[in-house]
């Protein structure tokens, strides 16, 4: 790839066209800054998973024009229900719906992950996205950053943002990390046709999401795709499977055995489900820093977290919004300042969310979620620590 950096328009590379990378490209477009997005996958597949999009995420999707593309296929969450695993006794119900929209300025949406990704792709011009480009090397220099890709191509950029996910090459190459610790737990997940539930006479309301809390495991079940599909994800103890992967297949028989004795509604969902994937759950400590000169990390690359709080994608979107604001304020050539502001605004909040996610206690009992759902990435102050504190209290 030729070095076609121009003295006028800075060349910015985003590594990874996942949720955070695409969101950042869209946020940068909002301030008139173009970025090239390099993605290792040769094409985008529809990964069978649901995603909870709390108001702090939907506020960002709204501002970049994604919500309108997503809403026709998503479900507006009415109630986050928490139930005892066997009796189904209510533990805590968080009412959302119109009340959440009024309080936080956006609804809480439940979506198919593929629909979210497709909606993000609609607001980033195709010519800015480069699939089939796996980053294998990064070399920051005083006046630029050199990137090398697995296909033999290379590029030179004024700044690089590593949005390359939980196994980030950018993080591994340039930042201090401690090794991940395997939690000894597995997240099984599946999306399937909700007609299969109706066939079993099970037709609960589409609006709520229910987390069934067992003594050492849980399952979360909700509808996506406007109610046409149902999704569940679990956490179960299992120290024999250690692969963090979106594509690994699990056994339905093993999964059903894991949830024997759970409420009949849970068992009916598992009985109807034709196939399942599994993902080994790892825990990682917050990084001591995630920006240096012309390079910064974003999303799972910066603050990978267990999925128990459903805030991984949301915090990557918050990163994108705040980073775009920092670049806009510092001036697009002033990367070191912008990245330092970005890191200082985001680090404390994301470390706190990592810690709450790790404990898997979020919303199990009566909780005011305003600290998380009410965060407004478009107005949180940066560049002054007082503003940072006030954003977290
Ligand atoms: C089971 C499960 C359920 C979850 N549920 C929720 C939820 O309900 N709500 C929520 O907010 N979060 C949820 N999360 C977390 C959420 O999926 C992640 O936090 C989110 O995807 C992070 O976005 P990202 O852009 O940082 O990474 P990703 O979306 O993973 O994107 C990273 C991208 O980088 C690409 N890439 C990687 N390496 C390279 C390379 N070397 N070169 C080029 N490209 C590369 C990848 O192919 C990928 O496209 C869940 C996670 C799991 C595992």
Give pLDDT tens digits for 297-332. 999 999 999 999 999 999 999 999 999 999 999 986
- 390 has a pLDDT exceeding 60: no
User: Does 384 score more than 60 pLDDT?
Assistant: no
Gap between the Cα atoms of 50 and 189, Å rounded: 9
Measured by CA distance, the residue closest to atom 51 of ligand 1 is 307
Say if ligand 1 is within 6 A of residue 311 CB.
yes
Structure confidence at residue 167 (pLDDT): 93
Average pLDDT over residues 94-107: 92
Name the pTM for this structure: 0.94
Average pLDDT over residues 166-192: 94
Ligand 1 atom closest to residue 187's alpha carbon, by position in its atom list: 1
The Å distance, Cα 166 to ligand 1 centre, comes to 7
Q: Which of 102-111, 272-281, 376-385 has the lowest mean pLDDT?
A: 376-385
- The mean-pLDDT minimum among 22-31, 53-62, 362-371 falls in 362-371
Grade residue 200 by pLDDT with cuts at 50, 70 and 90: confident
pLDDT greater at residue 13 or residue 392:
13
Ligand 1 atom with the shortest distance to the CA of 21: 25
- Band the pLDDT of 388: cuts 50, 70, 90: very low
Q: Report, as an integer, the average pLDDT of 361-373.
A: 93
Q: Is residue 4 over pLDDT 60?
A: no
Reported as a pLDDT band with limits 50, 70 and 90, residue 1 is very low
DSSP state at residue 112: E
Which phi and psi (to 5°) does residue 289 adopt? -165, 150
Q: Is the CB of 20 under 6 A from ligand 1?
A: yes
- pLDDT (average), residues 168-173: 97
For residues 356-385, average pLDDT: 88
For residue 244 and ligand 1, the question of a CB distance below 6 A is answered with: no
- Residue listed under structure tokens 């939907």: 58
Residue 147: pLDDT band (50, 70, 90) is very high
231, pLDDT greater than 70: yes
Any ligand 1 atom below 6 A from CB of 310: yes
Distance CA 101, CA 358 (A): 28
Confirm or reject CATH 3.30.9.30 for domain 181-283, answering yes or no.
yes
Residue 54 has pLDDT above 90, yes or no: yes
CATH of 12-178+285-377, one of 2.40.50.140, 3.90.1200.10, 3.50.50.60, 3.40.50.300: 3.50.50.60
Beta bridge partner(s), residue 90? 83
- Residue 333 pLDDT exceeds 90: no
Residues 6+ apart with CB under 8 A from 6: none
Q: Which two tokens stand for residue 337?
A: 């300042």
pLDDT above 90: residue 393: no
Cα separation, 159 vs 268, in Å, equals 51
Catalytic residue among 222, 231, 373, 375: 222
**What stretches of the chain show up as alpha helix (H) in DSSP?**
19-30, 55-63, 67-70, 97-104, 113-121, 169-174, 195-198, 252-258, 264-272, 312-330, 335-359, 370-373, 385-392
Structural contact between residues 277 and 186, judged by C-beta atoms closer than 8 angstroms: no
Nearest to 253 by CA among 231, 232, 275: 275
Q: What is the mean pLDDT of residues 345-360?
A: 95
pLDDT value, residue 275: 97
Average pLDDT (141-162) is: 97
C-alpha neighbours within 13 Å on the C-beta side of residue 34:
12
Question: Whole-number mean pLDDT of the chain?
Answer: 92
- The domain spans of the chain are 12-178+285-377, 181-283
Backbone dihedral angles phi then psi of residue 80, each to the nearest 5 degrees? -90, 105
Residue among 223, 225, 222, 232 at smallest CA distance from 187: 232
Q: How far apart are the first and last CA of the chain?
A: 47
Pick left, alpha or beta for residue 331 (phi over 0 → left; psi -120 to 50 → alpha; otherwise beta).
left
Of all atoms in ligand 1, which is nearest to the CA of residue 281?
Answer: 53
For residues 201-214, give the mean pLDDT: 87
Amino acid 7: pLDDT:
52
Residue 222 falls in the annotated catalytic set: yes
The pLDDT of residue 387:
35
**Strand pairing report for 35-38 and 12-15:** parallel
* Residue 5 in this model has a pLDDT that exceeds 50: no
Q: Nearest CA to 12 among 326, 245, 248, 383?
A: 326
pLDDT at 8 over 80: no
Answer yes or no: is the C-beta of 159 below 6 A from any ligand 1 atom. Answer: no
| Mean predicted confidence (pLDDT) in 116-132 | 98
């Amino acid at each position: 790839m030729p070095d076609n950096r121009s003295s006028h328009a800075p060349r910015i590379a985003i590594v990874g066209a996942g949720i955070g990378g695409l969101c950042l490209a869209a946020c940068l477009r909002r301030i008139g800054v173009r970025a090239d997005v390099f993605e290792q996958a040769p094409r985008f597949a529809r990964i069978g998973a649901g995603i909870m999009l709390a108001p702090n995420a939907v506020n960002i999707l709204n501002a970049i024009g994604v919500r309108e593309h997503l809403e026709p296929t998503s479900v507006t969450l009415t109630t986050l229900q928490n139930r005892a695993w066997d009796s189904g006794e209510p533990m805590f119900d968080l009412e959302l719906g119109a009340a959440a929209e009024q309080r936080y300025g956006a609804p809480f949406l439940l979506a198919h992950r593929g629909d979210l990704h497709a909606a993000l792709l609609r607001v980033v011009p195709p010519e800015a996205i480069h699939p089939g480009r796996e980053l294998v090397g990064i070399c920051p220099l005083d006046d630029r950053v050199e990137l090398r890709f697995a296909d033999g191509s290379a590029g030179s950029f004024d700044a690089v943002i590593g949005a390359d996910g939980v196994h980030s090459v950018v993080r591994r190459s340039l930042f201090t990390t401690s090794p991940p610790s395997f939690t000894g737990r597995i997240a099984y997940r599946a999306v399937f046709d909700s007609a299969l539930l109706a066939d079993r006479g099970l037709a609960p309301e589409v609006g709520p999401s229910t987390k069934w809390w067992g003594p050492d495991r849980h399952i979360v079940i909700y509808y996506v795709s406007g109610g046409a599909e149902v999704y569940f994800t679990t956490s179960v103890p299992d120290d024999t499977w250690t692969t963090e992967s979106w594509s690994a297949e699990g056994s339905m028989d093993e999964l059903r055995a894991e949830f024997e004795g759970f409420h009949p509604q849970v068992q009916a969902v598992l009985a109807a489900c034709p196939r399942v994937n599994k993902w080994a759950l790892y825990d990682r400590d917050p990084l001591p820093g995630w920006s240096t000169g012309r390079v910064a990390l974003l999303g799972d690359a910066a603050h990978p977290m267990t999925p128990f709080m459903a805030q991984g994608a949301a915090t990557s979107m918050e990163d994108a919004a705040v980073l775009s604001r920092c670049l806009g304020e510092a001036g697009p050539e002033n990367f070191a300042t912008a990245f330092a502001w970005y890191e200082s605004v985001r680090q404390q909040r994301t470390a706190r969310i990592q810690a709450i996610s790790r404990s898997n206690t979020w919303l199990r009992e009566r909780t005011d979620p305003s600290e998380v759902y009410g965060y407004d990435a478009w107005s949180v102050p940066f560049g002054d620590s007082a503003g940072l504190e006030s954003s977290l209290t």
